[in-house]
Amino acid sequence: MDKETQLIHELLDGELSPEERRDLLDRVNSAPLLKGEFDDLRSVVDMVESAERLAVPPEFTSQVMKRLPSPKVSFRKRVSSFFLGARVLRWNLASALAALCLVVIAAGAFFEMQKKGEIVSHRASLDKATRTVVISFYAPKAGKVSLAGDFNKWSIEKGLMKKESNGIWTLEIPLEPGTYHYMFVVNGEAWVTDPNAELSYDDGFGNKNSVLRVSL
Amino acid sequence: MQAEEYSLIEQCRGGNSEAYAILVERYQEMVYNVACRMIGDRDAAHDISQESFLSAYDGLKRFRSDSKFSTWLYRITVNKCRDYLRGRKPDVLLDEVSEILPSKAPDPQDLLYRKQLGQTLQTALGALPEDYREVIVLKHIGGLDYKEMESILGVSANALKVRTYRAREMLKKFLLEAGVSNG
3-state secondary structure of A163: strand
A2 Cβ under 8 Å from any chain B Cβ: no
Residue B53: pLDDT band (50, 70, 90) is very high
- Number of A:B CB contacts under 8 A? 122
Interface test with B, best of A35, A49, A54, A62 (most B CBs within 10 A): A54
Domains of chain B, earliest start first: 1-89 (1.10.1740.10), 91-183 (1.10.10.10)
Task: Say how far apart CA B129 and CA B116 lie, in whole Å.
Answer: 22
More confident residue, B131 or B112: B131
* CATH, range A79-83+91-214: 2.60.40.10
Q: Do B28 and A211 touch (CB under 8 A)?
A: no
- pLDDT tens digit sequence for B139-155: 999 999 999 999 999 99
Task: Say how far apart CA A96 and CA A89 lie, in whole Å.
Answer: 11
- pLDDT tens digit sequence for A23-59: 999 999 999 999 999 999 999 998 888 887 888 988 8
Which of A44-53, A196-205, B76-85 is predicted with the least confidence, judged by mean pLDDT?
A: A196-205
Whether the per-residue pLDDT at A119 is higher than 60: the answer is no
Whether the per-residue pLDDT at B99 is higher than 70: the answer is no
What pTM was computed for the model?
0.64
pLDDT at A120: 46
Q: Could you tell me if the ipTM is greater than 0.90? A: no
Q: What percent of chain A has pLDDT over 90?
A: 25
Chain A CB contacts of B37 under 8 Å are 51
pLDDT at B115: 67
pLDDT at A130: 54
Partners of residue A162 on adjacent β-strands:
A170
Cα–Cα distances in Å, from A1 out to A7, A23, B138, B163? 10, 19, 22, 12
The distance from CA B2 to its chain's CA centroid, rounded to whole angstroms, is 22
B177 Cβ under 8 Å from any chain A Cβ: no
Report domain extents, chain A. 3-49, 79-83+91-214
